[in-house]
Structure 1
Amino acid sequence: MSHIFAHRGSSGTYPENTMLAFKKAEKTGCYGLEFDVHMTKDLEVVVIHDETVNRTTNGRGAVKDMTLEELKKLSIKSGWLRKEKIPSLDDVLEWAQGNEMIINIELKNDKVFYKGLEELVVQKVAKYQLEGRIIYSTFNHESVKILKKITTCEVAALYSRKGINPVLLAQSLNADAIHANYRVMTPQLMRDCQRHGIPVRLYTLNRPPLIQKWMNEGLSGVITDYPDLAQKFKDKKE
């Protein structure tokens, strides 16, 4: 069965990685939520995709150089009257206690190395007692190894370059799953993963023909900007 994950929330329709996008994703009935985290100057964890706030907010600067309080003062760029803010990981996890969605936390530490991010995120998940609903993922393969040592939650290795064998990647890192850009995955590679019991989730599947193709191949997870569309497609298919 292919599960639907909302990529940065319902980010095709609402401002990405905001509480609004997450709450709208929940209303679609999708299986899971995917979002990104970075560490702040004062060692807090915030939900934002980029290393800087430039693209998505009315501010400028690197997340690592700003405190949580400074980041909270910024507004997300959008056409909505209500000004969305950058959520902290605590904000999202506290909200998640009120639903049953699977939460995929992507640690964005492949371009900026945040020392101790893995431990901090795992501690926050434990604080809200959500360990049974968490998937960790990261492009930083050293972080995959760290996470495997400090948590019993599922840990997925992310990759987006062609020429990588996902089975060998998962085995070399002791990863539980593979999350890959759909452009670098082939049906044969996915079947190889399936034979070795390695779940594969692909991003970012937004068009029905792609969703159908990979669902037909037995994809474990569809990571999409349009969970409402993907969920309706999945319901019709079943």
Structure 2
Amino acid sequence: MVKFRLLTLNCLFTTCLGYLTATAQPILSLSNYTYSPGKTVIGTLRVTGTGSRFKLRGPNASLFSLDKANQLSIQPTAAKAPQPWYDLIIEGQTASGSVRDTFRIVKDEFIRNQVIAHRGAWKQSGTSENSITSLQNAIKLGCMGSEFDVHMSADSVLVVNHDAAIQGLAIEKTTAAELAKLKLSNGESFPTLEAYLTEGMKQTHTRLILEIKTSTMGKERSMALTERVVKLVHRMKAQAWVDYIAFDYDVCKKVKALNPDAKVAYLNGDKSPEQLAADQLYGLDYHFNVLRKNEAWINDAKQRKLTVNVWTVNDKESLAWFLERQVDFITTNEPELLLTMITNK
């Protein structure tokens, strides 16, 4: 059952001011943001602690209903309409104070074909990896997801790049203004996370697989990066599009602390499905060699209701091996090849 949670966190997620403040205030967290014509019951609003009955506000409030059990539904006519999403305001009063937030509830047209384009679809077209064009290419191909990497500049602006440095500049030691002067090999400007999400949210077919990179400057900065990433996704109402991945297990747990219903997968390959399930992660996302050596983890993860992703698989034989084992996702630099193999199965 899809559910809402009202959480009292150590840090307030202050989206209107654009920063985190260390006060104990309630925030709303949704476990799901999608509906379909055949699935008009979205889920249940739940409150941890003492809370009042919550109300729906805004111009789209009449398109939704909240029953006595706080179960949220969308009107069938609204679910069948061509509009790709609706913004919905939820507000209420709790023992900790008032709460009000806006969420984008999205028609579920997301593709489910296992293909995750690694850093976008860039190799066959010759464009820059992790560029807006590589994202657009992945969307045009019909990939289930497009993966990308996020760092934080010296002045705490979030940017998209795989390596910790670009064109000789250490991203974490360079201001956003200096980074903005750079051009990628395809002529594009160096992308910010906000620009990347804005582009990805123009469609409702390809999910955005956001890797939070481990800081080269220590754990504290990795945690600060994580907070800013989750805050920006929240402020932009991008939750329906974004899944999180990270090599740092503390980063994964930090995302879950900020948003317990976020879909978070672990990359490093050194933890069993049992450990991931105990920490309520969404799935494992391991290098292909790890899963080849620990093939039993694939079924073990499925039995524990974890998703299984594998990276970065590029040759036909390896792609076929993982397709045969019915992993949930395959991250690849060759999305065109993988799509063809799936079509011809």
Deviates more, 1:184-193 or 1:34-43: 184-193
Per-residue deviation, 1:3 = 1.3
Identify which of 324, 327, 332 aligns with 1:216: 324
Q: 1:197 and 2:305 equivalent? A: yes
Q: Distance in 2 between matches of 1:165 and 1:154?
A: 17
Q: Distance in 2 between matches of 1:139 and 1:224?
A: 18
Identify which of 276, 300, 318 aligns with 1:170: 276
**2:116 counterpart letter in structure 1:** F
Is the 1:51–1:62 Cα contact (8 Å) retained in structure 2?
yes
Q: Extract unaligned runs of 5+ from structure 2.
A: 1-111
Q: Extract unaligned runs of 5+ from structure 1.
A: 54-58
Per-residue deviation, 1:85 = 2.6
Q: Distance in 2 between matches of 1:180 and 1:233?
A: 21
Partner of residue 153, structure 1:
262
**1:93 counterpart letter in structure 2:** L
Partner of residue 209, structure 2:
104
Partner of residue 71, structure 1:
179
Aligned length: 225
Is the 1:25–1:228 Cα contact (8 Å) retained in structure 2?
no
Alignment RMSD? 1.7
- The structure with higher relative contact order (CA 8 Å, sep 6+) is 1
Calculate the TM-score normalised by the size of structure 1: 0.88
Q: What does the per-residue CA deviation read over 1:150-186, in whole Å, with 9 as the maximum and x for residues that have no partner?
A: 11220111114xxx34313413543211111111113
Please identify the structure whose Cα radius of gyration is greater.
Answer: 2
Q: Distance in 1 between matches of 2:277 and 2:193?
A: 30
Is the 2:148–2:209 Cα contact (8 Å) retained in structure 1?
yes
Per-residue deviation, 1:128 = 2.2
Per-residue deviation, 1:30 = 0.7
Deviates more, 1:202-211 or 1:164-173: 164-173
Q: Distance in 2 between matches of 1:46 and 1:198?
A: 29
**2:193 counterpart letter in structure 1:** L
Q: Distance in 2 between matches of 1:184 and 1:49?
A: 22
Q: 1:123 and 2:231 equivalent? A: yes
- 1:1-238 aligned at under 5 Å gives the runs 3-13=114-124, 14-53=127-166, 59-76=167-184, 78=185, 82-100=186-204, 101-109=206-214, 111-113=216-218, 114=221, 115-151=223-259, 152-160=261-269, 164-186=270-292, 187-237=295-345
Q: Which structure has more helix as a fraction of its residues?
A: 1
